[in-house]
Amino acid sequence: MLQARKNRLWKFFIILFMSAGGILLILFSLNSKLDLFYSPSEMLKADIKPGYRIKLGGMVKSGSIKRDGTKIKFIATDFVKEVPVIFDGIPPDLFKEDSGVVVLGYFLDGMFEAEEIFAKHDENYMPPELSIEAAEI
């Protein structure tokens, strides 16, 4: 390989590694700030100031949804810690028990008051017949 070409190849890799290195440093310093939401365990450990607006994400505990008019109460869990959530409004269609949920709101006196509620979809796609069979097994 020509010497000049070799030098250019080196320059190429230097650009690539500098760019990768710089971006990795940024990502490592931002670390968990890049997460969209806290899990219940993380939120309880993080000692969030009252009245501080955050997002909490987890699974809707099975059998925990209680409706009263437009008010919805349920428990968000990561199977380690649980947080009761209260929400007033219309949740998305995919909001249901044993399914992922992300809520935006405030954590006050052991109760999460949600302003907005998002349903998280998992990576599984299957027709309804198969889904019923899977549930029976």
Partner 1 sequence: MISAFIHKFSSPKSFVRITKTLYPFLIFIGLSMLIVGWVWGLLFAPQDAVQGNSYRIIFLHVPAVIFAELIYFFMALCALMHLVWRVKLAAYLIKSAAPIGAMITFIGLFSGSVWGIPTWGTWWQWDARITSTLILFIMYLGILTLHGSFSNLEKSDRLMSILVVIGVVNIPIIKKSVDWWSTLHQPASISVSGGSSIDPSMLYPLLISIIGLGFTLISLGILSSRSYILGREKNKKWVSEYV
Task: Note whether 73 binds partner 1 by CB under 8 A.
Answer: no
75 with 82: CB under 8 angstroms? yes
- Compute how many other C-beta atoms are within 10 angstroms of the C-beta atom of residue 45: 11
At 49, phi and psi to the nearest 5? Answer: -60, 140
Q: Which of 11, 45, 53, 66 binds partner 1 (CB under 8 A)?
A: 11
* Spacing of C-alpha 42 from chain mean position: 12
| # of chain residues touching partner 1 (CB under 8 A) | 44
Binders of partner 1 among 14-43, rule CB under 8 A?
15-16, 19-20, 23, 27, 32, 34-37, 39
| The dihedral sign for the CA sequence 55, 57, 60, 61 | negative
Task: Note whether 92 binds partner 1 by CB under 8 A.
Answer: yes
* List of residues contacting partner 1 (CB under 8 A): 1-2, 5, 8-9, 11-12, 15-16, 19-20, 23, 27, 32, 34-37, 39, 57, 91-95, 99, 102, 116-132
